[in-house]
Amino acid sequence: MRSKDGLKQAGEADVSTTMAGNQNNWRRRVDFLTGFVAAFSLVTLFARWWWVADLIANLRVQLILGLLAVMVCLTLMRRWPHLALITVLTLWQLMALGSAVLTSDSGREQSVDGKDSIVNEASPRLRVFLANVLTRNQRHDLIVEQIRTADPDVIAILELSSQLHAKLQQEFGETYKHVVFETQDDGNFGIGLWSRLPLKDARIFHLNDQYLPSIEADLQLGSREVHLVATHPLPPVDARNFAHRNFHLALLAKRLNSDGPGTAQIPTLVLGDLNLTPWSPLFDDFLASSGLRNSAAGQGLQPTWYRWSWFPFGLVLDHGLHSDHIRCDQRTILPANGSDHRALVFDFVLNPLR
């Protein structure tokens, strides 16, 4: 028989063994998480060519949250070499969010002496309402209320159903007499544009798919014209859609600048759910090839898509892009209206002619 001292020592040994085992289990789990987030970080290097990598790049904010959580675990466990690696990867991923804090200089004009000066506040102004309303969304009352409150000059609606189109015509047809649209009840790519200002050459056009209509029109703003485009490419949820969306944006950039990037001669606005966030390198590629600027630059993290209530921070999918001839004074995200997207209101101001 064991003595009392022997039993006590055996019990202490069992507790010590159990604690050591638990510690090893936690270490293995943290090591797995470390490898997991590190691998996801490195995969974003291939975002231009692989749809999975592009999805992860678009989820970069959520990836950074994961990296930060792993950093906390590694700090508590004093895993310093692993912590150093994850810290470097986190800083690298944060750099990709640079457009959230770096402002565009398109709202300023260069004076004769080389100093910046604010654009004249008397310049023509344009308020735009943009909403991906979700085809099956029946909260048309909320959409109408948001439009009335915003009192925009232009209304751009994505995922436009025939039922919502009829409702908007009933509510706004007398005020917004210039309309171009194509509804879809069996898909998510109906589109419509309403304007209280005169439109010229307003038309539906298609890029790489007859199922995906886009709109373009020239709007008369004071003595000048503004070229408006509303578009909605496919979401890149697989390799085919990834290639389709990229080709859609490439054709759009070519259409905007037939003589090369930045050659459009009139102020240009591109409005839409591009199914692409500013955190993907493909977004920068589109800005470079189209000669456009991001109105959300310097505005921080302003997500517009919330598919699930538990999804942290959402995604920045809905955009108002503009040429150098025009600047965005204000970009406002509105409350939920029954869609998985939030509506936006943009206040654009024409830059003076030079």
Please tell me the predicted confidence (pLDDT) of residue 23.
Answer: 62
Helix (H) and strand (E) counts for the chain?
A: 8, 14
Q: What is the pLDDT of residues 156-213, one digit of tens each?
A: 999 999 999 999 999 999 999 999 999 999 999 999 999 999 999 999 999 998 999 9
Q: What is the pLDDT of residues 214-233, one digit of tens each?
A: 999 999 988 889 999 999 99
pLDDT higher than threshold 60 for residue 347: yes
- Cα–Cα distance between 59 and 88 in angstroms, integer? 18
Q: What is the pLDDT of residues 247-263, one digit of tens each?
A: 999 999 999 986 444 44
Please tell me the predicted confidence (pLDDT) of residue 278.
Answer: 95
- Cα–Cα distance between 225 and 204 in angstroms, integer? 19
Q: Using a pLDDT cut of 90, give the percent of the chain over it.
A: 69
Please tell me the predicted confidence (pLDDT) of residue 238.
Answer: 96
Please tell me the predicted confidence (pLDDT) of residue 111.
Answer: 32
> From start to end of the chain, where are the E strands?
108-110, 116-118, 125-132, 154-158, 178-182, 191-195, 199-206, 213-221, 224-231, 268-273, 293-294, 318-322, 326-333, 344-350
Mean pLDDT, residues 73-81: 88
pLDDT higher than threshold 60 for residue 7: no
For the chain, what is the mean pLDDT?
A: 87
Mean pLDDT, residues 275-299: 94
pLDDT higher than threshold 60 for residue 123: yes
Q: What is the pLDDT of residues 294-344, one digit of tens each?
A: 999 988 888 999 977 777 889 999 999 999 989 999 999 999 999 999 999
Q: Which long-range contacts (CB under 8 A, 24 or more apart) does 23-32 make?
A: 26/77, 27/77, 27/79, 30/70, 30/73, 30/74, 30/77, 30/79, 30/82, 31/79, 31/82
Strands lying side by side in the sheet with 268-273: 199-206, 213-221, 224-231, 268-273, 318-322, 293-294
Please tell me the predicted confidence (pLDDT) of residue 203.
Answer: 96
DSSP SS3 for 322? strand
Of 83, 123, 127, nearest to 106 by C-alpha is 123
Cβ neighbours of residue 105 closer than 8 Å, sequence gap 6 or more: 116
CA 113 to chain centre: 37
Lowest mean pLDDT among 6-20, 80-94, 185-199, 310-324: 6-20
Q: Do 61 and 313 meet the contact criterion of CB atoms below 8 Å apart?
A: yes
- Cα–Cα distance between 121 and 113 in angstroms, integer? 21
Q: What is the pLDDT of residues 132-160, one digit of tens each?
A: 999 999 999 999 999 999 999 999 999 99
- Cα–Cα distance between 137 and 159 in angstroms, integer? 10
Q: Do 349 and 324 meet the contact criterion of CB atoms below 8 Å apart?
A: no
pLDDT higher than threshold 50 for residue 106: no
Mean pLDDT, residues 61-82: 91
pLDDT higher than threshold 60 for residue 117: no
Lowest mean pLDDT among 10-19, 22-31, 330-339: 10-19
Q: Which stretch of DSSP H or E encloses residue 162?
A: helix 162-172
3-state secondary structure 113-137: CCCEEECCCCCCEEEEEEEECCCCC
More confident residue, 70 or 310: 70
Please tell me the predicted confidence (pLDDT) of residue 104.
Answer: 61
Please tell me the predicted confidence (pLDDT) of residue 17.
Answer: 55
- Integer-rounded Cα Rg, in Å, for the chain is 26
pLDDT higher than threshold 50 for residue 107: no
DSSP SS3 for 185? coil
Q: Do 189 and 159 meet the contact criterion of CB atoms below 8 Å apart?
A: yes
- Describe the chain by its helix, strand, coil percentages, rounded to 5: 40, 25, 35
Please tell me the predicted confidence (pLDDT) of residue 240.
Answer: 97
pLDDT band for position 354 (50/70/90)?
A: low
Please tell me the predicted confidence (pLDDT) of residue 207.
Answer: 96
